[in-house]
Every structure is written in C-alpha cells, then in structure tokens.
Structure 1
Amino acid sequence: MKKYFVAGLLVWLPLTVTIWVLSWLLGALDGVFVSLLSATQIVLPQSTHETVEYLRGVPGLGVAVVLLVLLLSGVFAANFVGQWWLRQWDALMARIPIVKSIYSSVKQVSDTLFSSSGNAFREAVLVQYPRQGSWTIAFVTGKPGGEVAGHLPGEYVSVYVPTTPNPTSGFFLMMPRADVHVLKMSVDEALKYVISMGVVAPPGTEPPALRN
C-alpha cells in the first residue's frame, strides 16, 4: 500500500504544485486589474460604474489587460522617447524623501536581476557554509565594491547562498576567491538542485576556472 501511495503521490504532486503556482500568479495579476478598476470608479462618473462592475466580473480579463499593459510598457521603454521619459520619472522619484530610498533600491535590484546585461547569478559555485567542512551551492553576483572592498585583503567575490526549497531567500556573503569553486553546471541546473534539496542532481562535469 505504501509503495502505491508514494507512486500516486509522485504522479499528482508536480501537477498540483504547477496548478497552485499558476493559480497564484493569475490571481495576483487579476488583483492588480481589480485594484485599477476600483481606482477608476473614484474618478469616473456614476453612469460608468455599471460598465466597470461588468468588466470586473469577466473571467480572465484582468490577466489579459495586465499582460497587455506590461507588453506596451516594454515597447514604450525600449525606444528613445520612452527612455527619456523614464529618466525623468527616475529623477522625480529620486527627489521624494523616503520614496527615493525604496524606489532606487528596488530599481537597482530589478535592473540587476532582469536586465539582459545584468550580472546577477552569473555562475554557480561551491562554497563552505555555514562552517568549514559543510558545502553548499551559491551563485556569484559580482565583486565587493566601494568602502567594503577597501577593508577586504586580497581578491574577494560576492556570492548569494539560497535557502531550500525556497531559493528566493538566502544569505549574501563576500568570500575569498580561492575559497570559491566554480561548477560547470548551469545556473538553471544549480537552482533545480537546490530546490529539489539535492534530489535532482545535474550530470557531473569538470569544473572550469573562475570567469572575471
């Protein structure tokens, strides 16, 4: 009975988790659309409220509208005029107290993570953490800079050590370059290895030298 139960669990668990993640994502997108409709009811005349309520009840419309807005925003931001307006917007946000700290921090992180020229998660490495003799997978995010670099003797690299099975949380470490062992596995393979808690292991390969 236990054998059959585990076999059935292995069949349904990936599908269930996939559906749950997609449902959460669609719900989040639909929630953004509903919030926008609620905001429009405040500024639009009373005669349009029935139309707004009708749009609120259309299934899937919120997801489609949010995706369309994201697509159009990307097209706008990719051209010369859009980039000029974005620079003006960033300059405006930088002048607002408190807001500038949050906005600039989030923008720097998002630009690093999602930009095609960003340096985040450039390669997977093997490091000793949280103590000597214990090894874990980490991701190189760059090199220490500014005042911090001046206090570090020798050559150091910045690494991110993800937690498992949720790699969105973790620890930022600055380690000597000599203590970081590069893995030939791709970043995607390393993430799968971390998320699966070591169950889904990528094929073994010879480690290359650290890239600059």
Structure 2
Amino acid sequence: MGPDEQQPLGRAEREEPTLGQRIEGHFQGKVLAGLMQLVPILVTVFVLAFIIGHTDGFIRPLPFVKDRPWDLPGVGLIGIIVVFYLIGLFVSVAVGRRTMGVMSFVLTKIPVVKTIFGVTEQATTILASDYNFSRVVFLEWPREGMVAIGFVTGRAFSQTGGHSLAIIYIPTVPNPTSGNMAFVNEDDLFETDLSVEDAIKLIFSGGIVLPERLAMARLPRDVEKKEREFIGRFETRPE
C-alpha cells in the first residue's frame, strides 16, 4: 500500500460530524418529523373534501334539498352521517348481520375483488382493535437477543402449575394485518408503557414515527419476588 493510500477508518476512528453536518442532520430530521405529522392531516382533509364534494353533487340537486334553506355546501356530510347511522342500525339486528355476512361471502369468492376486500377488512379490523389488544409488550423473537413488539390478545391459565401463558400477536411491518401468534410465559415478557395507539403508529410507519420515550420492565423469574425488574427508560430518535 503506497504512502498516499489510506486505510478505511474504523468506527472508533471516524471523524466527528462538523457543525454544518449537525445542522443539516437536525434540519432534515425536523422536516421529516413535520412531514410525517402533517401527511395524515392532509390526507384526511383531501379524502373528506373528495367525499363531501361528490355527495354534495348527488344530494343538493334532489327535489327536497334544491333551493331549500338547507341547500348549503357541506350538506353531503350530513347525508354521509345519516347513511352510516342507518347502516349501523341495520347491522345491529339479525337480518342485517346475515345480509352483511352474505355480501362478505360473495365478495370473497370473486377473483381480484376478494383480495381487495380481504386486505381492506383486515386493515379496518386492526385499526379498530384497541379493545382486543389489552396491552403492548416486547418479547425475544424470533431468537434470543432480538426483541420484537407484540400485542397481548388473551391469557391461558394452568390448572395444576399455577402459572399462566400470554397469547401474543406479533405483527409484521409495515402491514400489521399479517403476523405470528405465540404462547409465551408471562415472566418472559418485557412490559412497557407504550400505548396500543403509539405501537400501531410505530408499526405502520416502519419505525419512523417513534414515541418520545418508553420504559421497559421484566417480570421477575423468581416467583418469590413481586416487583418487576426495571430495564430502563429510553429516549427515541430517528436515524
């Protein structure tokens, strides 16, 4: 190797970032964070404006609306709410549930349509599943030393051993509608103060939308100890 050739610097020998690089990194990080916070709002506003605009175009020309005092921009929103309310009433009775079941069965048999319907149904189920997920945990998955996020969906109790198993749903990223299920001893779980909502945002974003901080604790393996083993409180930041 000639005198002018340099070996690659090791991690410990790399130069510290300059002030300009730190400012650039700070600026890019804040822009990305602002964008991630603003995109859901913009998408929501766009979708609502699109739906209300089309429903206004359908409802306002109707005879009982046109040129009446309630013929105003945005009346389509009231129409949407009324339709959702009527559908909710309909599916709350046995006839409505059977009708929706038949419609779902038919849609799952149509090529291409069944794929779109299935993915949409699973996504809405996940988004509305706060009451099905009792809490968020971490567990060593898929191997020891690697920690994955999971949702507790239930528990199974031993009639003889006196211990319990937690039923954990381990979602895939960024599509939580698929994942794995595991039965895990309670003392093998890492407890956390991360909420279900924050965990779902974390999964959908692929780790970009991070909570500001989270704490982790582990149940004691010694049954005589009742206090959790505190792992630490971590402050998160994007790379």
Residue 180 of structure 2 aligns with an amino acid whose one-letter code is L
Per the alignment, residue 180 of structure 2 pairs with 173
Moved over 6 A (4+): 100-109
Q: Distance in 1 between matches of 2:83 and 2:218?
A: 42
Q: Distance in 1 between matches of 2:209 and 2:127?
A: 24
CA contact (8 A) 2:139 2:149 kept: yes
Per the alignment, residue 36 of structure 1 pairs with 55
Out of 16, 21, 39, the residue aligned to residue 20 of structure 1 is: 39
Per the alignment, residue 134 of structure 1 pairs with 146
Residues 129, 38 of structure 1: alpha-carbon distance in 2 compared, 3 angstrom cutoff: farther
Per the alignment, residue 223 of structure 2 pairs with none
CA contact (8 A) 1:193 1:202 kept: no
Q: Distance in 2 between matches of 1:34 and 1:16?
A: 26
SS at match of 1:204: strand
CA contact (8 A) 2:152 2:166 kept: no
Residues 192, 38 of structure 1: alpha-carbon distance in 2 compared, 3 angstrom cutoff: closer
Deviations along 1:78-119, one digit per CA (max 9) or x if unpaired, are xxxx64663232222223451488789977975675377x32
Give the CA deviation at 1:143.
6.0
TM-score for the superposition, normalised by structure 1 = 0.56
Per the alignment, residue 86 of structure 1 pairs with 92
CA contact (8 A) 1:158 1:172 kept: no
1:30-179 matches, cutoff 5 A: 30-37=49-56, 61=74, 65-66=76-77, 69-70=80-81, 73=84, 83=89, 86-87=92-93, 88-96=95-103, 97-99=105-107, 110=124, 114=128, 118-119=131-132, 121-142=133-154, 157-163=167-173, 166=174, 168-169=175-176, 171-178=178-185
CA contact (8 A) 1:156 1:174 kept: no
SS at match of 2:102: coil
Structure holding more strand per residue: 2
Structure holding more helix per residue: 1
Deviations along 1:144-165, one digit per CA (max 9) or x if unpaired, are 9xxxxxxxxx9561413242xx
Give the CA deviation at 1:31.
2.2
1:184 aligns with 2:192: yes
Residue 91 of structure 1 aligns with an amino acid whose one-letter code is R
- How many residue pairs were aligned? 178
Structure number with bigger Rg:
2
TM-score for the superposition, normalised by structure 2 = 0.51
5+ unaligned residues in a row in structure 2: which ranges?
1-19, 157-163, 221-239
Q: Distance in 2 between matches of 1:127 and 1:32?
A: 42
| Relative contact order higher in (CA < 8 Å, ≥ 6 apart) | 1
Residue 122 of structure 1 aligns with an amino acid whose one-letter code is S
Residue 128 of structure 2 aligns with an amino acid whose one-letter code is F
